[in-house]
Structure 1
Amino acid sequence: MKRFNLITKMGLIVLMSIFTMSCNDDDTVKTPETIAEIAIATPGLENLVAALQRAGLVDVLNNTGTYTVFAPTNAAFATFLSANNFASVNDVPVDVLTQVLLNHVIATELPSTSLSTGYVNTLATYADTDLNLSMFVNTASGVKLNGVSNVVTPNIEATNGVIHVVDAVIGIPTVVTFATADPTFSTLVSALTTLTPATDFVSVLSDTNAEFTVFAPTNAAFSALASVPEEPTLTQVLLHHVLGANVVSGALTPNGTTTATTLQGNNITITLPGTNGNIANMTDGSGNSNIGIIKVDVQAGNGVIHVINKVAIPNLNS
């Protein structure tokens, strides 16, 4: 009888052990749900996961909330690391890596059907401020981000948002990034490059250690000119659209005027609020006061762009 009881007890212990192991196995094979969990479980995103871990952002993407994450593939990260002379993500300074990763995250859920051509804000920030960097989304043919990265696998659903896999790391943009990515500025880009070869505007405005405010005329603004001036004059016209500081719309005098000196040397004056549907009105160095600021605060890593509907002309006789 004692032997029977002993065998019975041993059998119960074995059965309990098997049951316990089964429960533990179920716990460890949990279906990925959050953005971070899905990234960890997805082949081809190992470099992204390593970067998130190094930057301490895994917990952020495990949090409840709604995010859109543009997730670079391993190949995308390899290209980024090579281009910046890093052997691995562990060689990238944490503060730099953090901002680059945050530049892939939007604080709202945007499935592909909600993406449209225009600007959105990422979680990356300008310098030591709380100004969020902008991202230009172009949906003319697929989805392209800042002119450099394409969505290759959209709409991976998570409990806290959505993932779109991309084929290139989206670096911190400069004001040149947005000028070249946004087709609204194609004439401006031509003016800054092929029409003014004696001045390397691209290198100047790509300087990540500088600060700029660019009042960017649209293609329509250039089309309204009787003619685009020759290079010596055009160079001065272009410089008249740039300030040597990052001046966002919130820094302008509300219900009043703000005067600033451009890199060309003449002042411009900005008046809030604007008229005729403009956010603000601008007066150039020649006294033209009918220039409208029609979009503000496209924030780059080295400055900010405000869009204007007419070309500003300096007073070249002063």
Structure 2
Amino acid sequence: MKIISKYLKLLPVFIMVLGLTACSDDDDNNGPGVQTTTVVDVAVANGFDALAAALVRADLVTTLEGPGPFTVFAPTDDAFQDLLDTDPTWNSVNDIPLDLLTNVLLNHVIIGDNIASSELINLGSGYATTGATGPSNTNLSLYFNVDGGTVELNGGFDTSAGADVTTADVEATNGVVHVINKVLLPPTVVDMAIANDDFSSLVASLLEADGSTADPMYVATLSGTGPFTVFAPNNAAFQALLDSNMMWNSPADIDDALLNAVLAHHVVVGNNVQSGDLTPNGTTSPTTLQGQTIDITLPGTNGNIADVVDGAGNDAGIIAVDVQTSNGVIHVVNAVLLPAS
């Protein structure tokens, strides 16, 4: 299973697995009497007209009729209609720019793996790699978590942003289909931060910093073209920062100038630096948006994937890597990085 990071604690929840009726057809290549039902057959048989039309237009039918295996998160016709309604020039999937449509469709496919809903439920949350691509032709990440018995994709604490699995485990001979209620657009670094509850303090800090200036920068900037490399502190890292000053109970209590400098010290602009791009058995020192450098050393120590020294000389660690988005990559750090004063 191509899960690249299991990040939140497991949740003891279950999903009701429903079945869809799928048709099968004879495949002469498999010999007489052998029945095959590909993931494409499942979509066609169960009335996913918009998805089927989109696959034809993007020339992905032959690919998804191949041996796979594939895990396909299939949006309903209503989900595609909601997407079309976001642009007045889109009356059908034929009106969506072909490059965008193709990448959107591939963002719903995990290639080379047949992932049952039980696997997602047992993990509770984590990241998987899709067929869609981002900067430097890197494959995009998909975040999943389980909430109240429902598998959510790229949703997190902003449930309107993601999709829910409404019907799971529709088996095909070359994979499995899970039905979802929303089309998953390739996420930005902001989208992916919002998706993961363990970045809620980071998101709150970005919003607080934006609200403190007449010219908000962070959310708009990090939703732009990029590419960006973001070193994202988890909630525990932010709590440790707040605990370091008895006057700080939330990001709103941190001085505006300091908060802005701290956040900018976590962002590298103009480069999509994946873990494989770092100097092996050595140190990489990128310049941050704040203007100072940080030192990243491989291999890490004390359980870290890599060790980090911030501008102020403090130690931190990278604990999860390569959460790839359409405009940059996120690496998770276990401490808030502070610039030199």
**TM-score class, shorter:** 0.7 to 0.9
For residue 208 of structure 2, give the secondary structure of its aligned residue in structure 1.
coil
Q: Which structure's relative contact order is higher, taking Cα pairs within 8 Å and 6+ residues apart?
A: 2
Q: Partner of 1:87 in structure 2?
A: 91
TM-score, normalization: structure 2? 0.81
Give distance in 2, aligned partners of 1:128 and 1:254: 20
1:290-316, Cα deviation, whole Å (9 max, x unpaired): 200001100000000000000000013
- Superposition deviation, residue 139 in structure 1: 1.1
Q: Decide whether the 8 Å contact of 1:196 with 1:234 is kept in 2.
A: no
- Superposition deviation, residue 92 in structure 1: 1.2
- Alignment of 1:145 with 2:153, yes or no, is yes
For residue 320 of structure 2, give the secondary structure of its aligned residue in structure 1.
strand
- Alignment of 1:113 with 2:118, yes or no, is yes
CA-atom RMSD in angstroms: 1.7
| Structure 1 residues 185 and 62: CA distance shift in structure 2, 3 A | same
Q: Decide whether the 8 Å contact of 1:32 with 1:38 is kept in 2.
A: no
Q: For residue 152 of structure 1, what is the amino acid of its counterpart?
A: T
Q: Partner of 2:20 in structure 1?
A: none
Q: Partner of 1:181 in structure 2?
A: 195
- Alignment of 1:216 with 2:216, yes or no, is no
Question: Which ranges of structure 1 fall in alignment gaps of 5 or more residues?
Answer: 1-25
Moved over 2 A (4+): none
- Alignment of 1:308 with 2:333, yes or no, is yes
Matches within 5 A, 1:202-281: 202-207=219-224, 209-225=225-241, 226=244, 227=248, 228=251, 229-244=254-269, 245-281=271-307
Give distance in 2, aligned partners of 1:31 and 1:74: 27
Give distance in 1, aligned partners of 2:52 and 2:290: 46
More moved, 305-314 vs 229-238: 229-238
Q: Decide whether the 8 Å contact of 1:193 with 1:200 is kept in 2.
A: no
- Alignment of 1:42 with 2:56, yes or no, is no
Q: Partner of 1:67 in structure 2?
A: 70
Q: For residue 217 of structure 1, what is the amino acid of its counterpart?
A: P
Give distance in 1, aligned partners of 2:195 and 2:87: 21
- Superposition deviation, residue 235 in structure 1: 0.7
Q: Partner of 1:165 in structure 2?
A: 179
- Alignment of 1:283 with 2:290, yes or no, is no
Question: Which ranges of structure 2 fall in alignment gaps of 5 or more residues?
Answer: 1-24, 28-33, 156-161
- Superposition deviation, residue 211 in structure 1: 0.8
Q: For residue 94 of structure 1, what is the amino acid of its counterpart?
A: L
Q: Larger radius of gyration, structure 1 or 2?
A: 1
- Superposition deviation, residue 195 in structure 1: 4.9
1:14-72, Cα deviation, whole Å (9 max, x unpaired): xxxxxxxxxxxx979x97611111111112x1000000000000111111121110000
Query: Aligned residues, how many?
Result: 286
Give distance in 2, aligned partners of 1:126 and 1:211: 9
Q: Decide whether the 8 Å contact of 2:265 with 2:337 is kept in 1.
A: yes
1:170-228, Cα deviation, whole Å (9 max, x unpaired): 00010011110101100001000035412342111111x22100000010001111135
- Alignment of 1:299 with 2:330, yes or no, is no
1:214-273, Cα deviation, whole Å (9 max, x unpaired): 000010001111135222110110000000021111111000000111000011110000
Give distance in 2, aligned partners of 1:95 and 1:187: 35
For residue 216 of structure 1, give the secondary structure of its aligned residue in structure 2.
strand
Q: Partner of 2:133 in structure 1?
A: 125
1:52 corresponds, among 50, 55, 68, to 55
| Structure 1 residues 27 and 138: CA distance shift in structure 2, 3 A | closer
